Amino acid sequence: MPDAITIRNLTKTFGPKVAVKNLDLSVPQGSLCGFIGPNGAGKTTTIRMIMSIIFPDSGELSVLGKASAIESKDRIGYLPEERGVYRKMRVLPFLTYMARLKGLDAGAAKRKSLDWLGRMGLGDVARKRCEELSKGMQQKVQFISAVIHEPDLLILDEVFSGLDPVNRRLMRELIEEQHKSGRTIVFSTHAMYEAEQLCDRVFMIHRGVKVLDDTLADIRARFDPKTIVVEPLNTGETAVQRRFPDIESTLRSFPGVSHVERDRDGFSLGVAEGAEPSRLMAELAAAIPGGVRRIELKRVNLEDVFIDLVQSTAGQHVDRADLRNPAAEEEPAHV
Amino acid sequence: MSKTLMVARREFLATVLTKGFLLGILLPPIIMAVALTLVPLLMNAAAPKTTGTIAVIDRSGLVEDALRVSLNSDAFQARRAKKMEKAQQKIRSGGINLPSDPRAEAIQKNLASGGPSLSVIILPRDADPEKEKQPILSARVRDGDDASRSQRVALVVIPEGAVRMPAPVGADKEPAFEHYQLLTAPKLDIEVQQDISEEVDHAIVDARLTAASLDPKAVRQLTTTPVTDTLVITPEGERTDNPVTAMLLPAGFMILLWISVLVGGQGLLMSTVEEKSSRVMEVLLSAVSPMQLMVGKILGQMGVAAAIMSLYSLSGIGALVFFSQSHLLDPMLLVYTAIYFVIAFFLMASMMAAIGSAVNDIREAQMLMQPIMIVMVIPMVLWLPISRNPNGMFAQITSFVPPISPFVMVVRLAGSEKIPFWQVPVSIAIGVASMIFMAWAAAKIFRIGVLMYGKPPNLKTLIRWVRMA
| Amino acid letter for position B174 | E
Which residues pair with residue A257 across a beta bridge?
A271
Establish if A45 touches chain B: CB-CB under 8 angstroms: no
Establish if A48 touches chain B: CB-CB under 8 angstroms: yes
Nearest-5° angle of CA A77, CA A81, CA A82?
105
Q: Are B153 and B184 in contact (CB under 8 A)?
A: yes
Chain A residues with CB-CB distance to B289 below 8 A = 52, 70
Nearest-5° angle of CA A18, CA A19, CA A24?
105
Q: Are B229 and B93 in contact (CB under 8 A)?
A: yes
| Amino acid letter for position B42 | L
Residue B333: CB atoms within 10 Å: 16
Residue B106: CB atoms within 10 Å: 10
d(C-alpha B345, C-alpha B347), whole Å: 5
How distant is the Cα of B285 from the closest Cα of chain A, in angstroms? 7
Q: DSSP labels for A129-189?
A: BGGGS-HHHHHHHHHHHHHTT--SEEEEESTTTT--HHHHHHHHHHHHHHHHTT-EEEEEE
How distant is the Cα of A153 from the closest Cα of chain B, in angstroms? 12
In this model, does residue B12 exceed pLDDT 90? yes
d(C-alpha B81, C-alpha B195), whole Å: 13
Terminal-to-terminal C-alpha distance of chain A: 38
Q: Which of B6, B274, B282 sits opposite A53 (nearest CB)?
A: B282
Chain B residues with CB-CB distance to A101 below 8 A = 3, 6-7, 284, 287-288
Chain B residues with CB-CB distance to A48 below 8 A = 451
Chain A residues with CB-CB distance to B282 below 8 A = 53, 80-83
* Residue B195: closest CA among B186, B180, B208, B182: B182
Which residues pair with residue A206 across a beta bridge?
A209
Residue contact B289–A97, C-beta within 8 A: no
- Which of A66, A78, A101 to substitute to test the interface with B, most B CBs within 10 Å? A101
Residues written for chain B: 469
d(C-alpha B332, C-alpha B309), whole Å: 17
Q: Are A294 and A231 in contact (CB under 8 A)?
A: yes
- What are the distances in angstroms from CA B125 to CA A123, B56, B210? 98, 9, 20
Q: Give the single-character DSSP code of A259.
A: E
* Residue A33: closest CA among A223, A206, A184: A184
- Which of A86, A90, A149 to substitute to test the interface with B, most B CBs within 10 Å? A86
Q: Are B337 and B257 in contact (CB under 8 A)?
A: yes
Q: Which of A74, A82, A102 sits opposite B282 (nearest CB)?
A: A82
| Phi/psi-derived region of residue A103, left when phi > 0, alpha when psi is between -120 and 50, beta in every other case | left
**B372-401 pLDDT per residue, tens:** 888 888 888 888 888 778 888 888 888 888
What mean pLDDT, rounded, does chain B reach? Answer: 81
**B186-212 pLDDT per residue, tens:** 878 787 888 889 889 989 999 999 888
Which residues pair with residue B123 across a beta bridge?
B57
Q: Are A291 and A243 in contact (CB under 8 A)?
A: no
Q: Are B258 and B407 in contact (CB under 8 A)?
A: yes
In this model, does residue B48 exceed pLDDT 70? no
| Amino acid letter for position A242 | R
Q: Scanning every residue of chain B, which has its alpha carbon at the shortest distance from the alpha carbon of A72?
A: B287
Residue contact A51–B285, C-beta within 8 A: yes
In this model, does residue B96 exceed pLDDT 70? no
Handedness of CA B379, B382, B384, B388 (dihedral sign): negative
**B431-440 pLDDT per residue, tens:** 999 999 988 8
In this model, does residue B28 exceed pLDDT 90? no
Q: How confident is the model at residue B443 (pLDDT cuts 50, 70, 90)?
A: confident
Q: Are A154 and A177 in contact (CB under 8 A)?
A: no
- What are the distances in angstroms from CA B353 to CA B12, B270, B273, B339, B364? 15, 9, 9, 21, 14
Q: How confident is the model at residue B325 (pLDDT cuts 50, 70, 90)?
A: low
Chain A residues with CB-CB distance to B6 below 8 A = 97, 100-101
Chain A residues with CB-CB distance to B285 below 8 A = 51, 53, 80
Question: Where would I find the beta strands (DSSP E) of B36-105?
Answer: 51-58
Q: pLDDT value at position A318?
A: 52
**Hey, which residues 261-300 in chain B have their CB within 8 Å of chain A?**
274-275, 278-290
Burial of B370: CB neighbours in 10 Å, binned 0-12, 13-18, 19+: exposed
Interface ipTM: 0.75
Q: How many CA atoms lie within 13 A of A140 on its CB side?
A: 26
Pairing type for strands A3-14 and A17-28 reads: antiparallel
How distant is the Cα of B432 from the closest Cα of chain A, in angstroms? 29
Q: Give the single-character DSSP code of B329.
A: -
pLDDT tens for chain A, 335 residues long, are 678 889 999 898 887 888 888 889 889 998 999 998 888 888 888 988 888 888 888 888 888 888 877 788 888 999 888 788 888 899 999 999 999 998 889 999 999 999 999 988 888 988 999 889 888 888 889 999 999 999 999 999 888 887 888 888 888 898 999 999 989 999 898 878 888 888 888 888 888 888 888 888 888 887 777 888 888 876 555 554 555 667 777 888 888 888 888 877 788 888 888 888 888 888 888 888 777 888 888 877 788 788 878 877 654 555 554 454 444 333 333 33
